[in-house]
Chain A
Amino acid sequence: MTDLTSVSVLVLGAGGLGCEMLKNLALQGIPTVHVVDMDTIELTNLNRQFLFTEKDVGRAKVEVAAEYINSREIVGAGGQLVKVTPHFQDLTLFTRDFLAQFTFVISGLDSVEARRHVNAELVKITLESQFQKCIPFIDGASEGFKGHCKVIIPGFSACYECSLNTLPAKTETYPLCTVANNPRKPEHLIEYALMVQWPQTFPDVSFDYENPDHLHWLTEQSIDRAQSYAIDASALTPNFILGVIKNIVPSVVSTNAIIAGQCCIAMTRLLYDLYDFENSPNFSIFNGEEGAFSHSYLHSRDPNCLICGDNKQTL
């Protein structure tokens, strides 16, 4: 029987996916869990990040999450209490030696850059140790009713970088000349104010959406231009504007529970040898907008991958 007492997991992100992952790991009895996130709690997190309440707003997510779980004194594998260690920091500052202590890394991040960084580090750990060390990297992502789960065995199967070209374009962008000359949608006005009007008016100040004065200025400019182009300005509410400039994506607990659960089940399958490294599909996508669609497939390693490609492996 697999011994869980020495298993340790690093969870990247303590947001919607992270909270669900931490709960699943704790209730599954994983004794050593670390979590890293540099965000503080906001009111808009509370529809899905159930380890936090109104009174925690403003505090570091990882600290509240660790307190919540540690205070429950959950008896995990081998009779040890489950212990969550928080890291309130930028995860790219972890040393490779620090990362190398974990059995698994599970991520529920919203940033492609952070994922690419961790992926590259974990591949290096495998390659530099000449395959003596290998830390599976399980990556979850969710947006609205959709999400994905990727199981990466660094050095063996497709890594995050191998699938970079299949990622959808990050945000909807509009031609600069449209937003400048022929705006038709409220989004065009916001984009112009942000891209062109702001740097022209305040060349030495970078736009900060957390600054109410900046936001107010942007709203005024957009409404002004809406009037001169006869565009309906009623859509230009603070929520809408923030949504456009921060690229806010919808998020709901159900999808997060599904994706976080898939990630943790993938870990379980690896732990208990229920994973076929040759044939098991490694990536899966979920979509709950029309019925419930979940499909998994095998994404092959890219032999020319800049991170894990053949030239990195043989030299």
Chain B
Amino acid sequence: MLKLRQMQQRKQQEKQQQSGSALVLETSLTPAQLRLRQDLASIDIPPTVLLDESDLLANSTAYMTILPDEGFYRSGTFKFSLHFKDTYPIEPPKVKCLNKIYHPNIDVSGNVCLNILREDWSPVLDLQSILVGLLLLFLEPNAKDPLNKDAAFDLQADANKFGAHVQATMRGGVLRNVRYDRVVS
């Protein structure tokens, strides 16, 4: 082990010449938390999104609220929970929509069909990518990848009628025996 020990000594001497200041390391954060902190430091949040990170350290959960300013879902408030495990960023966070809403790509249990949250996730993606992905889901709902088949069918068949359904359900209306959450103030 002589070579390794010699290399350590050289490094120590180098350090002493550089500066005498001691090193302080954050000791309590896991690698996944460090990565999340980096994500947060570089994130660029548009005015149509609110990010609540207050529960991130205690429960590894962040909340993202989407406030679309155009499209079918304009003036709604849509809240998502993002649960991060120690596997982040190897695995994506588990994302759920906390409101029961009428949307082709979100089912009434809050499951979200978004490629980057499942099959197209990669460790080079980050919180910013998820933010953009969710925002896009409200600006351009996609009838091709439906989770709520009725909503997808409506959007495909008659965009005006779909828009009317969106407006009614966002106010807490009932559609086909399902009561949706009120998401407009």
Contact = CB atoms under 8 A, between A and B. Distances in A.
Contact flag (A, B; Cβ within 8 A) = yes
Contacts of A134: 4, 8
Contact of B111 (A112, A124, A161, A195): A195
A85 interface: no
B1 A270 contact: yes
Contacts of A250: none
Most buried by A among B15, B112, B147: B147
Given A153-B4, A169-B121, A176-B147, A307 B31 contact: yes
Given A175-B145, A200-B109, A131 B90 contact: no
Nearest to A196: B111
B166 to A, nearest CB: 19
Nearest to A3: B1
Interface string A263-306: 00000001101010100000000000000000000000000001
Interface residues of A, number: 47
Given A170-B90, A181-B149, A136 B27 contact: no
Nearest to B124: A165
Interface string B1-44: 11110011001100100110111110100111011001000000
Interface string A153-166: 10110000100110
Interface in B34-88: 34-35, 38, 85-87
A177 B105 contact: yes
Given A117-B30, A165-B123, A180-B147, A156 B87 contact: no
Nearest to A176: B113
A205 interface: no
Contacts of B12: 130-132
A128 interface: yes
Contacts of B107: 180, 196
A99 interface: no
B108 to A, nearest CB: 9
> Which secondary structure dominates chain B's binding surface?
loop
Most buried by A among B8, B109, B124: B8
Contact of B25 (A128, A173, A180): A128
A52 B122 CA distance: 38
A315 B24 contact: yes
A164 B123 contact: yes
Nearest to A178: B145
Given A174-B119, A273-B1, A306 B149 contact: no
Nearest to B112: A176
9 tightest A-B CB contacts, nearest first: A177-B145, A113-B86, A176-B113, A131-B11, A116-B31, A177-B113, A306-B34, A273-B3, A173-B118
30 contacts: A103-B1, A113-B86, A113-B87, A119-B31, A120-B30, A127-B23, A127-B25, A128-B25, A130-B15, A130-B22, A136-B4, A153-B4, A161-B31, A164-B89, A164-B90, A164-B123, A165-B123, A165-B124, A170-B91, A173-B118, A173-B119, A174-B118, A175-B118, A176-B113, A177-B145, A181-B149, A200-B109, A307-B34, A312-B23, A315-B21
